Structure 1
């Protein structure tokens, strides 16, 4: 059990949990900032969590659910206040409604997570700040301290499973729900360069090509919120085989988050909403793309096209032809 101490201070209105791990500091930090990893331990074993958003940047948000043994679902969110990579981050942890909006009828807890290296590995100190004694007692009655203790007891297994999250693994696809899919890839390169590679037309043309043998004759990027973009691809030597996508930039917070709409040019029906989040992790930059489809049928049809394989080919080209050059 990694928990070293649990201290409840009714005068300072805080609860402090200290946990020690036999893992490097960078590995522990990544476990908290990678949505694929934190959802494996944030909820107690009988209430597993699922994160559909996890920004890990000042001003960002994390949106998660915990599902109980009888199928009951509880919604929560983090409002990110401050971050110093590999040292600390602070969030407001709130209950939420099903649509991800805050539930103001239930208490909000300010939480500060501090990370440090130790002789044996690393340590995280979690301090929860409450607004009143009544609020503290109410959340303790709801099982907050037991839940966190049970949840953190799962961290060791996540830290030991390095291979599942290491740089160099192929693009991963996870079905989150009937309409949501999460695509993840650790890209070998600094977050600023990965962001530029997604937002500068000259760089996009070099790598966002899918399998070999395709070109990108049209590459109109969207820089500011409200602008539209348009990408078209053509198979080399076959001018008749051409397709493209277009959409609008809905949100942008460089170099961490970008939200766009997307639909195939000329295709009927609704398109998708794509939420891309970048985070600095050991080995490079974690790219997380959550795609929301209008229907399960469209989700399955697109996944069946081999989309992930095409994306993996593009990310390998990004590392080889754009990021390697930038580092050199």
Structure 2
């Protein structure tokens, strides 16, 4: 991995895929935690002014994350991640679906499978998301609703959070997980 900033977002409609690569000036352990711990995920996952709120999360193979994207008027859009494969500090795979507040998925909806890979070189961590959609209709709907812009904003939030956590790493404690 080079030391230059990596920020790629490629849509491949022929293969129903999106590939996102983003490098972060932070060690792998910190980036991994930001992706796998609910308290940290909630601080960056949603594009501002929206926020993410995890209702439950079991980061294990067969586990799941049930969360809401919460808007400024209190509106909630529920999502579910079903974790299928986890290789600590290297990668994890989940199925992403829309659902209700109890995790019930509407069988008429489609989802996507995310393979998230992590690698570090000289303190820079590269995160690669290989996202496969179930249908062209799902992929096009995601693009139309602003997935690229919203997800890019979320990754920007992650960059800010990581910078804050790196600064406070010398004085860890309960304040570490508070909203930056």
TM-score range, shorter chain: 0.7 to 0.9
Of residues 84, 92, 97, the one that matches 1:94 is 97
* 3-state DSSP of counterpart to 1:161: helix
Whether the 8 Å CA contact 1:33–1:54 is kept in 2: the answer is no
Task: Indicate the structure with greater helix content.
Answer: 2
> 1:136-155 counterparts in 2 under 5 A?
136-155=139-158
In structure 1, C-alpha distance between the alignment counterparts of 2:171 and 2:61, rounded to whole Å: 25
Structure 2 unmatched runs, 5+? none
Q: Report the Cα offset of residue 49 of structure 1.
A: 0.3
Whether the 8 Å CA contact 2:62–2:82 is kept in 1: the answer is yes
**CA separation of 1:120 and 1:24: change in aligned 2, threshold 3 A:** closer
In structure 1, C-alpha distance between the alignment counterparts of 2:73 and 2:45, rounded to whole Å: 19
> 1:116-135 counterparts in 2 under 5 A?
116-119=119-122, 121-135=124-138
**CA separation of 1:83 and 1:165: change in aligned 2, threshold 3 A:** farther
Are 2:84 and 1:81 aligned? yes
* 3-state DSSP of counterpart to 1:98: coil
For each residue in 1:176-204, what CA deviation from the matched residue of structure 2 results, as whole angstroms up to 9, or x when unmatched?
Answer: xxxxxxxxxxxxxxxxxxxxxxxxxxxxx
For each residue in 1:238-277, what CA deviation from the matched residue of structure 2 results, as whole angstroms up to 9, or x when unmatched?
Answer: xxxxxxxxxxxxxxxxxxxxxxxxxxxxxxxxxxxxxxxx
> 1:5-20 counterparts in 2 under 5 A?
5-20=8-23
Partner of 2:56: 53
Aligned length: 173
> 1:289-328 counterparts in 2 under 5 A?
none
Q: Which has the higher contact order (CA 8 A, sep 6+)?
A: 2
Superposition CA RMSD, Å: 2.4
Q: Report the Cα offset of residue 165 of structure 1.
A: 8.0
Partner of 1:325: none
Quick check: 129-138 or 79-88, which moved more?
A: 129-138
In structure 2, C-alpha distance between the alignment counterparts of 1:54 and 1:95, rounded to whole Å: 16
Q: Report the Cα offset of residue 36 of structure 1.
A: 0.9
* 3-state DSSP of counterpart to 2:15: coil
For each residue in 1:266-322, what CA deviation from the matched residue of structure 2 results, as whole angstroms up to 9, or x when unmatched?
Answer: xxxxxxxxxxxxxxxxxxxxxxxxxxxxxxxxxxxxxxxxxxxxxxxxxxxxxxxxx
The alignment's TM-score, normalised by the length of structure 2, stands at: 0.86
Partner of 1:64: 67
Structure 1 unmatched runs, 5+? 175-328
